[in-house]
Structure 1
């Protein structure tokens, strides 16, 4: 039995310990905000927080999250009014929107560890999250807005 906390709720998983966390979130808990992208932990669409750290959930086995705390995009803010979510909307960041939950989760992790990142720190932290629509300038602007360095 694997016990973990997801978005402040305790869950017990009694399945294959090698099942990726992403499939548990999407298929068993019906949390569809975290996306499947590449399946190889390379694109960032599946990014969640595990014990506060941005983590790719598509390759993370359930065994690795035993007794851990997981936050998904659904749990970032119960009213969907996290400062990053607001800045994303104000800066028209999403185009197709597919990668955006992973982008926001990566940015939230960055801002938790580095509240006022410079351009280099933003580029470095966000470099593993791919946006096929190329909204990188708007993503950076939204992050800087939340960090207090730029306004919409």
Structure 2
């Protein structure tokens, strides 16, 4: 997907999530849900050869050089080293919208491909747990009800099984 399409999708997601949660963008719950959804869309959008292209890149840490980012990188490097080079990425979004990211370990140990910030990681089934927690937090706040059926014209795909 091109940048314009990604921006359009991101804008629509933000609008949709604001309506669902009743929060302004920047709230911790909304931000976490947004990151899960955008991560999933990024996974779908990328072709499989994106991983090989990412191996050619060398950016392993945010362009920002600040104490927090350096500590984040050291933490990831230590965790990865203690687990035989397992690859991992981490990002932190601060309340003011500042993003800090870092990557450590290998995307592919057999290819000796270091994990970079360009890699797209498969999130997998763990997103179900995150989504369930976020939904239940919204139920506790009164922003959602488990008994409310989504409106069919909301633009969301609903599957009930």
TM norm structure 2: 0.26
Structure with greater helix share of residues? 2
TM norm structure 1: 0.27
